[in-house]
Structure 1
Amino acid sequence: MFLRLFFFDKKAVVVVNAKVEVGYDLSKLEIQIDSLGKKIIINKIPKETINISPDIKYFDLQQSQFNTFSKYELNKINKKSIEKIKKTIAVTTLKSEAKTRLFEEFSKIYQLSATFGWQVVDNTDLEFSKSFNQSF
């Protein structure tokens, strides 16, 4: 009879809005310049970086007096929210859009080098590097 008076259930409604940026840090680009041979040698292009700025809000946080949410549980909810955002990023076009922007930046390098009679040597395994070499 005593246990029927107290409830130990917990519920939380969580709303997550996030700002997600996918890009390449070109300061980590590994290149060599051969001024005598007029060559720009690209050795390594960094992997894309993903920055997530979540805005997590808790609504309708229902807990009993005897069974409250701990900091550990709230942190676990936050981690699950961020993991869900990362899974969502995988099915969006954010990564391909970032690669397109990277492609545009490299096209500027190829165009400038061709204008001044330099050659760009690409030692990376990116798909678009072959199309640059054919264009210029």
Structure 2
Amino acid sequence: MDFFTTALLLLVGAGGGVAFANVLRKRSGQTDARRESTLLLERIEKVFKVVMAEGYFSEIYNYQDQKKILYVLNDPKKAMIIAKSKVLVGFDFAKVRFRTDENGAKILAIESFPEPEVLSIDTDYKFYDIQAGYLNHFHSEDYTKILDDAKQAMNERALQSDLPKIANNQIQYMMYQLAGSMGWQLQLPDAEQRQLDALKAQTERELDSTKRLPPGQ
């Protein structure tokens, strides 16, 4: 058998092997899908934000868009989204304005304290009942807008809940305890000081009632 005959047989055999491997791959359901991602770091910022309350929310968001064909016939598209979110509420301490006593006394006076804000929303979205119109189809920007609107609705719902109040109470009491542990006296603006005094009184009552409970309860 000469060289060319041998080479021809090798090529035919290799081709048959590749074809057979492709058949087996298709039958086994394997694909050659490739995924690539590129991470771009835009900037790093130093922040002093403290999480004081955490809440979990579920939201059913209905999206509907009406489009008229030839200004006569309606061609709606709609979708239902179920969003489950973990919301963290806290404070940006860069916005706190304070001063110390001019006479050297250990008094920390808070002149201005920021409102609690949503620091992050971690949301899991699931789309259900997606119905496109005959000509009114869904596009990538539609899904982006739906997710943005759903996240904004979750942000507003979190701010309307008890999370901001809980975060306020937490931060005031934490600062009070921290200042006291270092021998400092904390002074808050009038409204916040009244809230802190009420919280301290409530805490003392709860501790007192706990001490009065019989052993084992």
Letter in 2 for 1:46: P
Choose the corresponding residue for 1:41, options 106, 109, 125.
Answer: 109
How far apart, in 2, do the equivalents of 1:104 and 1:39 lie? 16
- Between the aligned residues of both structures, percent identity stands at 21
Alignment partner, residue 213 of structure 2: none
1:73-122 Cα deviation digits (max 9, x unpaired) = 32332233123223422442212221121122122134235xx3x43333
Is the aligned partner of 1:106 residue 2:106? no
The TM-score with structure 2 as length reference comes to 0.47
How far apart, in 1, do the equivalents of 2:132 and 2:111 lie? 56
Alignment partner, residue 188 of structure 2: 122
How far apart, in 1, do the equivalents of 2:96 and 2:180 lie? 18
Is the aligned partner of 1:32 residue 2:95? no
- Report the number of matched residues: 126
Is the partner of 2:154 in helix, strand or coil?
helix
Question: Is the CA contact 2:173–2:196 (under 8 Å) kept in the aligned structure 1?
Answer: no
Q: CA RMSD in A?
A: 3.2
Q: Cα gap change, 1:124/1:79 in structure 2, threshold over 3 Å: closer, same or farther?
A: farther
The TM-score with structure 1 as length reference comes to 0.68
Shift of 1:20: 0.7
| Higher alpha-carbon Rg | 2
Structure 1, gaps ≥5 residues long: none
How far apart, in 1, do the equivalents of 2:88 and 2:191 lie? 24
Q: Cα gap change, 1:38/1:100 in structure 2, threshold over 3 Å: closer, same or farther?
A: closer
Alignment partner, residue 22 of structure 1: 89
Structure 2, gaps ≥5 residues long: 1-68, 202-217
| Structure number with higher relative contact order (C-alpha < 8 Å, ≥ 6 residues apart) | 1
Letter in 2 for 1:14: I
Alignment partner, residue 126 of structure 2: 57
Q: Cα gap change, 1:74/1:124 in structure 2, threshold over 3 Å: closer, same or farther?
A: farther
Letter in 2 for 1:122: L
Choose the corresponding residue for 1:82, options 143, 151, 154.
Answer: 151
Q: Cα gap change, 1:16/1:47 in structure 2, threshold over 3 Å: closer, same or farther?
A: same
How far apart, in 1, do the equivalents of 2:83 and 2:142 lie? 16
How far apart, in 2, do the equivalents of 1:42 and 1:53 lie? 32
